[in-house]
Amino acid sequence: MKSLILQTASRYLMVLLVIFSVFVLLRGHNEPGGGFVGGLLIAGAFALYALAYEAKEARRLLRLDPRTIIGLGLVTAAGSGLAAVWHGQPFLTGLWLPYPIPFLGKLGTVFFFDLGVYLVVLGTTLLVLFTLEEE
């Protein structure tokens, strides 16, 4: 079931969705959004792409194996917590840079934690989706 319209549309939508998911991830701390929703969004983008073409194409576009992404996400989230331990504070205490960074705003370890959530959600969803589709 290959639809030319869906394929063409998904190619453009893909870019928009990925950008939007990053946007949602970044604004999460102050406005509605965050790692979980962002992760679902980008997973949705790849799911759309996989439906329009096939899972193999989507995998190629993703470059990394979903399993690797899950691992990276877990490590990022846990690592962001360890930063506080390094500074002698309890595990997962949020640490913040004193000055805001252009475009990103105030940056802290909490952001990396959210990034970890984002990656795990993305990886898990795609792992299941791709496996189901390829079967």
Partner 1 sequence: MPSLGVDLSFALDGLSLTFVLLVSGIGALVLIYSGAYFGEQPGGGRFFAYLLLFMGSMLGLVLSDNVITLFVFWELTSISSYLLIGFHHHTETSRASALKALLVTGAGGLLLLAGLLLMMLAAVQLGSPLEEAGRISALFSVDFRQHPLYLPILILLLLGAFTKSAQVPFHFWLPAAMAAPTPVSAYLHSATMVKAGVYLLARFHPILGGTIQWETLLIGVGVLTMLVGAIMAAGQRDLKRILAYSTISVLGILTTLLGVGTVLAVEAAVVFLVAHAFYKAALFMVAGNIDHETGIRDVTRLGGLRSLMPVTAIAGILASMSKAGTPPMFGFIGKEALYTAKLDIETIGLWLIIVAVLANVLLVAMSLVVAIWPFFGSFRQTPKSPHEAPTSMLLGPVLLAGLGMFVGLIPGAFDRSLGSAMATAILGFPVEMKLKLWHGFSRESVFVMALSGFTLATGFLLFKKLRPWLTRTLELACRLEPWGPGIRRAWQEGRLRHELTCRLEPLGPTRAYEGLLAGVTRSAQGVTRLIQSGYLRRYILITILAAVALVSYPLLHSIQPQLSENAWQLRPHEAVVALLILAGAITTVRARYRLTGVAALGVTGLGMALIFVMFGAPDLAITQVMVETLTVILFVLVFYHLPPFVPRSTRRQRFRDLTISIVAGLLMVFVMLATASIHLEPVLTDFFAQQSLSAAHGRNIVNVILVDFRALDTLGEITVLAVAGFGVYALLRLIASQKGEVEK
Cβ 41 to partner 1, closest distance in Å?
Answer: 6
Nearest-approach distance from CB 53 to partner 1, in angstroms: 14
Instruction: Please give the residue ranges that form the binding site for partner 1 (CB under 8 A).
Output: 24, 28-37, 40-41, 43-44, 47, 51, 66-67, 70, 73-74, 77-78, 81, 91-92, 94, 96, 106, 108, 110, 113-114, 116-117, 120-121, 123-125, 127-129, 131-133, 135
- Ramachandran bin of 97, using left for φ above 0, alpha for ψ from -120 to 50, beta for the remaining angles: beta
Element (H, E) at 79: helix 66-86
Cα–Cα distance, 77 to 107 (Å, whole number):
15
| Nearest residue (CB) to partner 1, 4 versus 30 | 30
Beta bridge partners of 101: 105
